[in-house]
Amino acid sequence: MSFDSQSWLARARALIGDAHVLSSDRGDDLSAYTRDWRNKFEGPALAVLRPANTEEVQAIVRLAAATGVAIVPQGGNTGLCGASVPGSTGPRAVVLQLGRLNRILDIDVENNTATVEAGCVLQTLQQQAAAVGRLFPLSLGAEGSCQIGGNIATNAGGVQVLRYGNTRDLVLGLEVVLPDGERLDLLRGLRKDNTGYDLKQLFIGAEGTLGIITAATVKLFAAPDARVVAFAGVASVAQAVQLLGAMRQRLGERFTAFELISGEAIALVRHYFPDTPAPLQGDWPWYVLMEAADGGDDAVLREAMQTALMACMEDGQLEDVALAGNVAQGQALWMLRENITHAQQMDGSNIKHDVSLPISRIPAFVAAMLPQLAQAFPGARPIVYGHLGDGNLHFNVSAPAAIEPGSWQLQTDAVNQVIHDAVAALHGSISAEHGIGQLKRHELPLYKSAIELDVMRRVKQALDPVGLMNPGKVL
Ligand code: FAD
Ligand code: MLT
Ligand code: ZN
Ligand 1 binding pocket, CB closer than 6 Å: 37, 72-80, 83-84, 98, 118, 140-142, 146-147, 149-151, 153-154, 156-158, 207-208, 212-213, 341, 433-434, 470, 473
Is the pLDDT at 90 greater than 80? The verdict is yes
Going by pLDDT thresholds of 50, 70 and 90, the confidence category of residue 403 is: confident
Domain pair 226-346 / 348-440, same fold: yes
**Geometric angle at alpha carbon 208, from 433 and 16, rounded to 5°:** 135
SS3 135: strand
d(CA 259, CA 256) in angstroms, rounded, equals: 10
Q: What is the mean pLDDT of residues 376-387?
A: 96
Alpha helices per DSSP H over 17-82: 31-34, 54-67
Contact 249, 241 (CB under 8 A): no
Instruction: Summarize pLDDT for 437-464 with one digit per residue, the tens.
Output: 999 999 999 999 999 999 999 999 999 9
CA distance 126 to 109: 14
Q: Percentage of residues in the chain with pLDDT exceeding 70?
A: 100
Q: How far is the CA of 175 from the centre of ligand 3 (A)?
A: 27
Q: What pLDDT score does 22 carry?
A: 98
**pLDDT beyond 70 at 1:** no
Q: Which helix (H) or strand (E) holds 366?
A: helix 362-376
The DSSP code for 468 is: -
CA–centroid distance, 141 to ligand 3, in Å, is 8
SS3 160: coil
Q: Whose CA is nearest to atom 7 of ligand 2?
A: 341
CA dihedral over 81, 458, 156, 70, signed as positive or negative: positive
Q: How far is the CA of 437 from the centre of ligand 1 (A)?
A: 11
Ligand 1, atom nearest to 79 Cα: 2
Tell me the C-alpha distance between 251 and 255, whole Å: 6
pLDDT band, very low/low/confident/very high, at 416 (cuts 50, 70, 90):
very high
CATH architecture for segment(s) 348-440: 2-Layer Sandwich (3.30)
Q: How far is the CA of 472 from the centre of ligand 2 (A)?
A: 23
Question: Are the CB atoms for 149 and 159 separated by under 8 Å?
Answer: no
Question: Atom 8 (ligand 1): residue with closest C-alpha?
Answer: 84
Q: Which of 3.30.70.2190, 3.30.1370.60, 3.40.50.620, 3.90.25.10 would CATH assign to domain 226-346?
A: 3.30.70.2190
Cα(471)–Cα(441) distance, rounded to whole angstroms?
11
Which residue type sits at 427?
H
CA of 341 to the centre of ligand 2 (A): 6
User: Relative to the CA of 433, which ligand 2 atom is closest?
Assistant: 5
Burial string for 429-467 (b: 16+ CB within 10 Å, else e) reads bbbbbbbbbbbbbebbeebbeeeeeeebeeebeebbeeb
Give the closest residue (by CA) to ligand 2 atom 8: 394
- Upper half-sphere CA count for residue 342 (Cβ side, 13 Å): 13
Q: Distance from the CA of 186 to the center of ligand 2, in angstroms?
A: 30
CATH number, domain 104-222: 3.30.465.10
**56: Cβ contacts below 8 Å, ≥ 6 apart:** 15, 16
**Domain spans, the chain:** 104-222, 226-346, 348-440
Tell how far the Cα of 389 is from the centroid of ligand 3, in angstroms.
11
- Please tell me the distance between residue 336's alpha carbon and the centre of ligand 2 in angstroms: 13
- Residue to probe by mutation, ligand 1, list 84, 177, 390, 431, most atoms within 8 Å of CB: 84
In this predicted structure, the answer to whether residue 430 has a pLDDT above a threshold of 90 is: yes
Probe ligand 1: pick from 33, 39, 80, 393, max atoms within 8 Å of CB? 80
Beta bridge partners of 384: 395
Q: Which ligand sits nearest to residue 341's alpha carbon?
A: 2
Range 384-410 average pLDDT? 92
Choosing from 354, 383, 395 the residue with most ligand 2 atoms within 8 A of its CB, the one to mutate for a pocket test is 354
Which residue pairs from 195-203 have beta carbons closer than 8 angstroms and sit at least 24 positions apart in sequence? 200/171, 200/173, 200/174, 200/176, 201/168, 202/459, 202/463, 203/152, 203/153, 203/174, 203/176
For residues 140 and 80, the answer to whether their CB atoms sit within 8 Å is no
Give the pLDDT of residue 129: 98
Q: What pLDDT shows up at residue 404?
A: 81
Mean pLDDT of the chain: 97
DSSP state of 25: G
Q: pLDDT over 90 for what percent of the chain?
A: 96
For residues 222-241, average pLDDT:
97
For the chain, the distance separating the N- and C-terminal CA atoms, rounded to the nearest angstrom, is 29
Residue 403's nearest CA partner among 382, 380, 384 is 380
Of 167, 164, 217, nearest to 193 by C-alpha is 217
- Please name which of 200, 196, 205, 198 lies closest in space to residue 187, comparing C-alpha atoms: 200
Closest by Cα among 302, 298, 101 to 215 = 101
Q: What is the pLDDT of residues 253-296, one digit of tens each?
A: 999 999 999 999 999 999 999 999 899 999 999 999 999 999 98
DSSP characters for 189-220?
--S---SS--THHHHTTSTTSS-EEEEEEEE-
Residue 35's nearest CA partner among 92, 95, 118, 91 is: 95
Q: Which of 72, 143, 146, 166 to mutate to test the pocket of ligand 1 (most atoms within 8 A of CB)?
A: 146
Q: Among 38, 40, 434, say which to mutate for ligand 2: greatest number of ligand atoms within 8 Å of CB.
A: 434
State how beta strands 355-356 and 183-186 pair.
unpaired
* Mean per-residue pLDDT, 328-335: 95
**Atom nearest to 211 CA in ligand 1:** 20
